[in-house]
């Protein structure tokens, strides 16, 4: 598990640690790590040309001290001082003593010239205390660096992104690599900011024992493996979980086929389908082990429900019948339009940005820009776990906990992919996982399946993702999911 921390949590841990260290020691640890990662990215510092974009304060200080280390290793290091009146004096002195130079002060033509052709540019403009984006002139320099230089490396996080929300409130730096210190920040895992971070490398500076338990986290394969149900010798179909599926319609029969099939291959002991006879026929043609009934009341014993995929309009009464059961629920797609004011039982909602926008009366584009905020708002409003699908899937629990899925892939941006996720997550609910764990584990495995399908087909369809679910489960159990794709 990778913890994600807020600025306040990082600051508090730094304060505790600095009280035990000599003055400046923490910055030296950060600068040493930053210089090492930059040298590795360059394939060696000797003979390389490095340019530093240096803001005021400690973020600029980290860049200057790292620049001094690179200069001592034989790199040519030029500093562009964007806030010369607030430059970190000791860092600048160290850079000059090591043979580095000040190439420009401010966002001048000389600053652009200093970046042009550099092998590596370090973004040391704003740190975790920065808010509200960067100035247009600074943004223009960063854009020029991306166009005319080599690697762009951000110090701690790309300047201009909001560290605590993953939002991009203004113009910001887009990095190839981010070197962050002590612990990962929310902005490095949650879009839209995460898309600007590039690859993320965390440098250990000794904060670990001073950090609180994280309120947000990124799961890794071993974490997911411990969540997944493991049938024992005494297991029967009821111990493995019976999932009821209310999905599909005459217009969208494939949604029911995908959801029920995903539930079967994800370990459900039994899948019961409730819906039109024509859809039931297609479901059973795909999966003859699925037990079909015409409606919710005649479905028989189930332990959880997955509702909504391809359901179509006019099915509110059926959704209400499922809600009245009090069983754990997954509510997807059309079922999200039939929500009561709040949900009293265990529930997992799986909207995309458009659906969540309709649920909350918000513009979907605004939901995309503020993914964490809206996921948390919906979780609190309906007292349910919310799995917000998208470029980075955010799973928010009403108790405030958040998980961000690291296995997402554009391969899942295909019709029917959400139906597969619904069946997968529903099977985990039926097996006894709580909605937060079921949503988190399902998103992870679904992403792995998408990556495996993309590796084979390039542009897979939902059925291809479904077919890779067994391999995805095996991959997670091997702890190898992070190496896929």
Binding positions for K(+) are: 59, 123, 159
66 three-state secondary structure:
helix
Instruction: Take residue 310 and report the two structure tokens written for it.
Output: 């391809």
Pairing, β 385-388 against β 347-349: parallel
Does the bond joining 346 to the residue before it have cis omega, within 30 degrees of 0? no
Residues annotated in the binding site for (6S)-NADPHX, as ranges? 58-62, 127-133, 156, 255, 310, 352, 419
In whole angstroms, give the CA distance from residue 229 to residue 241: 10
CB 152 within 8 A of CB 121: yes
Pairing, β 394-396 against β 402-404: antiparallel
In whole angstroms, give the CA distance from residue 384 to residue 349: 7
Using CA of residue 22, residue 28, residue 30, residue 36, what is the dihedral sign?
Answer: negative
- Cross-strand partners of 306: 245, 330
Alpha helices in 287-416 (DSSP H): 316-323, 353-360, 364-369, 371-382
Residues annotated in the binding site for AMP, as ranges? 389-393, 418
In whole angstroms, give the CA distance from residue 106 to residue 82: 4
- Mutual angle of helices 253-265 and 417-430, in 10-degree steps: 40
In 10 A of CB 354, how many CB atoms? 13
Residues annotated in the binding site, as ranges? 58-62, 123, 127-133, 156, 159, 255, 310, 352, 389-393, 418-419
Q: E strands along 277-325, which residues? A: 291-293, 304-307
**Residue 124 Cα distances to 155, 186, 209, 347, angstroms:** 5, 19, 27, 44
What length does the chain have? 485
Q: What are phi and psi of 173, to 5 degrees?
A: -80, 140
């Amino acid at each position: 598990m990778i913890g994600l921390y807020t600025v306040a949590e990082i600051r508090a841990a730094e304060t505790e640690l600095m009280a035990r260290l000599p003055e400046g020691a923490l910055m030296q640890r950060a600068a040493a790590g930053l210089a090492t990662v930059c040298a590795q990215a360059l394939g060696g510092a000797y003979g390389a040309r490095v340019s530093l974009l240096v803001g005021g304060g400690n973020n600029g200080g980290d860049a200057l001290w790292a620049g001094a280390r690179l200069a001592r290793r034989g790199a040519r290091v030029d500093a562009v001082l964007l806030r010369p009146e607030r430059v970190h004096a000791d860092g600048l002195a160290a850079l000059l003593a090591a043979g580095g130079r000040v190439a420009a002060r401010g966002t001048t033509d000389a600053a652009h010239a200093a970046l042009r052709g550099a092998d590596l540019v370090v973004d040391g403009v704003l740190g975790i205390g920065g808010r509200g984006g960067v100035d247009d002139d600074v943004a223009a320099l960063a854009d020029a660096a991306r166009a005319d230089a080599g690697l762009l490396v951000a110090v701690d996080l790309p300047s201009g992104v909001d560290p605590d929300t993953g939002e991009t409130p203004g113009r910001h730096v887009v990095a190839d690599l981010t070197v962050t210190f002590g612990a990962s920040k929310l902005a490095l895992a949650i879009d839209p900011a995460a898309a600007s971070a590039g690859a993320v490398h965390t440098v250990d500076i000794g904060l670990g024992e001073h950090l609180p338990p994280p309120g947000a986290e990124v799961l890794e394969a071993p974490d997911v493996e411990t969540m997944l149900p493991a049938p024992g010798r005494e297991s029967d179909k009821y111990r493995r979980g019976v999932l009821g599926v209310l999905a599909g319609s005459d217009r969208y029969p494939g949604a029911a086929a995908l959801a029920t099939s995903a539930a079967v291959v994800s370990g459900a002991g039994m899948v019961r389908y409730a819906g039109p006879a024509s859809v039931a026929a297609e479901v059973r043609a795909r999966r003859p082990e699925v037990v079909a009934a015409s409606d919710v009341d005649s479905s028989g014993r189930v332990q959880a429900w997955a509702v909504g995929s391809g359901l179509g309009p006019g099915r509110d009464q059926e959704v209400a019948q499922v809600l009245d059961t009090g069983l754990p629920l997954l509510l997807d797609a059309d079922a999200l339009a039939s929500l009561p004011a709040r949900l009293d039982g265990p529930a997992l909602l799986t909207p995309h940005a458009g659906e969540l926008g309709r649920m909350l009366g918000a513009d979907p584009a605004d939901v995309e820009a503020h993914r964490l905020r809206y996921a948390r708002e919906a979780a609190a409003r309906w007292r349910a776990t919310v799995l917000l699908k998208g470029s980075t899937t955010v799973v928010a629990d009403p108790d405030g906990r958040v998980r961000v899925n690291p296995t997402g892939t554009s391969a899942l941006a295909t019709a029917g992919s959400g139906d597969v996720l619904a069946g997968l997550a529903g099977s985990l609910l039926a097996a006894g996982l709580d909605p937060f764990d079921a949503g988190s584990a399902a998103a992870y495995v679904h992403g792995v399946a998408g990556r495996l399908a993309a590796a084979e087909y390039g542009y897979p369809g939902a059925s291809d993702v479904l077919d890779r679910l067994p391999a995805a489960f095996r991959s997670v159990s091997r702890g190898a999911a992070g190496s896929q794709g």
